[in-house]
Amino acid sequence: MKVYQTTEIKNIVLIGASGSGKTTLAEAMAFEGGVIARRGAVESNNTLSDSSELEHMYKRSIYSTTLFTEFMNYKFNIIDTPGSDDFCGGLFSAFKVADVGVMVFNAQNGFEVGSEIQARYARAHQKPIIAVVNQLDHEKANWENTLESIQAGSHAKTVVVQYPVNPGVSFDTFIDVLMMKMYKFKDENGLREELPIPESEMEYAKELHNILVEAAAENDEDLMALYFEKGTLTQSEMRAGLKVGLSKRDLIPIFCVSAKRDIGTKRLMEFIINVAPGPVAAPNFTTVGGEEVAPNQSGLTTLFVFKSTIEPHIGEVTYFRLISGKLTEGAELLNTRTGNKEKITQLFAVAGKNRVKVSEILAGDIGCTVKLKATKTNDTLCMPSMPTTIEPIIFPEPRYRTAIRAVNSSDDEKLGELLTKARYEDPTILVEYSTELKQTIIQGQGEHHLNILKWILESVNKVAVEFFAPKIPYRETITKIATADYRHKKQSGGSGQFGEVYLLIEPYYEGMPDPTKYKVNGKEIQVNIKGKEEVKLDWGGTLQFFSSIVGGAIDTRFLPAILKGVMEKMNEGPLTGSYARDIRVIVYDGKMHAVDSNEISFRLAGRHAFKEAFKNAAPKIMEPIYRVEVLMPSDKMGDVMSDLQSRRAMIEGMSSDNGFDKLVAKVPLAEMYRYSTTLSSITNGRATYAMAYSSYEQVPSEVQNKLLKEYSDDDSDE
């Protein structure tokens, strides 16, 4: 295999809704480039992309797959991504290293919710898009409706480059209005015949050609002047204008194919070579310090890891894009995260499940290596003489959480190792043992996402596990001022224990002025601040601790012990054992004994006084509230809203966007368990959502009473 120059490389990502035919298109592109001699089919479980047992079971992509093909002296690095939003981690990784997105549409369904989701991701990653209408050979293919939906759903100007002459089961011909030719396909192996446009199609073809010329001219002042002068543009001039419009993401060219029958694949690849940005024309990668790194073949070697896997009999496989310089076998590079050196012992070009050994890779190219010591996704490897770190991929926030445990406790350690491995391969899976909840919590992009993990644990690794509802990390606080005192006294021969504490507590809020005086139960308490300590709690919120002891009633050396006793109850709130937060404590009086007083006495006195005051301060349980954004077809808004309202949601806003409705609500985390499954059920899988932590808010009184009863029952059981 030849070493490709930076100017001879195209990095593309195939995106689109599930069932649009991305894997089939990747297979056709590999076939056109001679990487495979025969095209596989998803139904036959023999494609380059979908090679795992899971993908064979589901007949669709679960993982992103990197592959290459060689075409017209160019190397295409293609990343085939899953259409399901549950597996969007692979898409985010692909967007990091690809320069252009090829968005595939099913000619039966047009611009779907899945299309909108992935289009939004492409906009967020500032990737130019080429639209490809696939499956035009299906009996239910509808070119006009699909085109109309793409035009309505796109945020950039769409221009038709090709249109089908005979969509449907007999589809074998399309007209290219850039080339102004008709292409007729003789077989299902891409053999095409170039023909003049028939008279019956000429008027419509000229109309679309003129629209394409105008769209190309709009992107460049010189071209616009030339267009006004001549009234038209040559093909090369049109390509130049389209190249500018596509790179600026102002333009979406539309193509038509049947990937299954290899119709239109070659022409699409020709367009990508002539118009789509490659590593040189695409925006440069940036470092965490904001500096740009150009794809200079003569520059310092810098590579970015976008994917990591573990394969049987091989171990760690590391996929990367070479940002700058050249990479050869035997190179020693610095991992800027670990500070350790890694030796590149082998280099491969990736063709799905196959790998082709290469001796050298140049800037802009994508490849993989094996058996690195401690390198993972988002790491940068570079020359030790000039350390630099590329900005990492920012993966989406998790949307689904569940508790997990091994059915057999003897598998606990193995389960922990397997979850660490899962996190290594898929950064969108979060794993945490919560000491607060005493549960192992895993989070992912949806229930299906984590069910796939469960299948792997059980079917591949033979570790039986169970999912169950995770506990909610409630918080406790107070809503009014209260006082309490407690005397700890213990005598058992020799030195005893004695400590007496008087304290006042009140709700705390940010920016609250320091205390001066209080009137509680008809009694006035004057505060003379002698000491102040503010504790930012690990679990959120604040504890303010004031000393207002006068006359030496309590020696200052015992105040840390009182604070320690208070913190013990903050760690285990009096109501449900949850963390307490946002409380001000003022120690204003007390007593001590010259012989019997010690730190343990005042720790216990402070602990009990705080507990008593807390119960008298109208305590409230607080729950985590999440901001939830749901995207759905307009006809499902009522059902989605009703379901959210049944989950104690507070609707904050509704809007419409390109045929889809968006609903924003604040919803308690306690009500979101298995929401992805419910949403899919009530919308027939046509909606998606995102959620992010918003705040802690007090639970309604009926919910608090229920929680208190549950805690009381659990406590009595113990």
Strands (E), 216-301: 251-256, 285-286, 292-293
Give the start-to-end residue ranges of the domains of the chain: 8-275, 285-382, 400-471, 479-611, 621-703
Q: How many other C-beta atoms can be found within 10 angstroms of the C-beta atom of residue 22?
A: 30
Nearest to 25 by CA among 86, 107, 99: 107
Q: Which residue has 């689109």 as its token pair?
A: 16
483: alpha, beta or left? (left if phi > 0; alpha if psi -120 to 50): beta
Query: How far apart, in whole angstroms, are the C-alpha atoms of residue 461 and residue 406?
Result: 12
Cα–Cα–Cα angle for 158, 163, 169, nearest 5°? Answer: 130
* Domain 285-382 part of CATH 3.40.605.10: no
pLDDT value for 82: 95
Cα–Cα–Cα angle for 143, 78, 170, nearest 5°? Answer: 30
pLDDT value for 658: 63
Give the phi and the psi of residue 694 in degrees, each rounded to 5.
-115, -60
Give the phi and the psi of residue 209 in degrees, each rounded to 5.
-65, -45
Residue 51 identity (one-letter amino acid): S
pLDDT value for 493: 66
DSSP bridge pairs for 256? 133
In sequence order, the 6+-apart residues with CB closer than 8 A to the CB of 167 are 107, 136, 137, 141, 142, 143
Task: Give the predicted TM-score (pTM) of the model.
Answer: 0.86
Radius of gyration (Cα) for the chain, nearest Å? 32
Nearest to 352 by CA among 4, 35, 18: 35
Beta strands 583-591 and 523-526: pairing type?
A: unpaired
- Sign of the alpha-carbon dihedral angle for 191, 194, 200, 206: positive
**First-to-last CA distance in the chain?**
69
* H or E segment to which residue 467 belongs: strand 465-468
Nearest to 43 by CA among 59, 61, 24, 28: 59
pLDDT value for 718: 39
DSSP bridge pairs for 546? 532, 586
User: In CATH, which superfamily holds the domain spanning 400-471?
Assistant: Elongation Factor G (Translational Gtpase), domain 3 (3.30.70.870)
577: alpha, beta or left? (left if phi > 0; alpha if psi -120 to 50): left
Burial of 56 (0-12, 13-18, 19+ CB in 10 A): middle
Contact 488, 599 (CB under 8 A): no
3-state secondary structure 477-529: ECCCCEEEEEEEEECCCCCCEEEEEEEEEEECCCCCCCCCEEEECCEEEECCC
User: In CATH, which superfamily holds the domain spanning 8-275?
Assistant: P-loop containing nucleotide triphosphate hydrolases (3.40.50.300)
DSSP bridge pairs for 497? 490
Domain with residues 621-703, CATH architecture: 2-Layer Sandwich (3.30)
In sequence order, the 6+-apart residues with CB closer than 8 A to the CB of 536 are 542
* H or E segment to which residue 211 belongs: helix 199-217
Contact 301, 364 (CB under 8 A): no
Contact 56, 45 (CB under 8 A): yes
Give the phi and the psi of residue 705 in degrees, each rounded to 5.
-60, -40
Q: Which one of 3.30.300.30, 1.10.599.10, 3.30.300.160, 3.30.230.10 gives the CATH number of domain 479-611?
A: 3.30.230.10
Contact 546, 560 (CB under 8 A): no
Nearest to 582 by CA among 536, 513, 531: 536
- Do the two domains 8-275 and 285-382 of this chain adopt the same fold? no
Contact 626, 675 (CB under 8 A): no
Regions of the chain where pLDDT drops below 50: 716-718
Query: How far apart, in whole angstroms, are the C-alpha atoms of residue 311 and residue 355?
Result: 13
- Classified as helix, coil or strand, 622 is strand
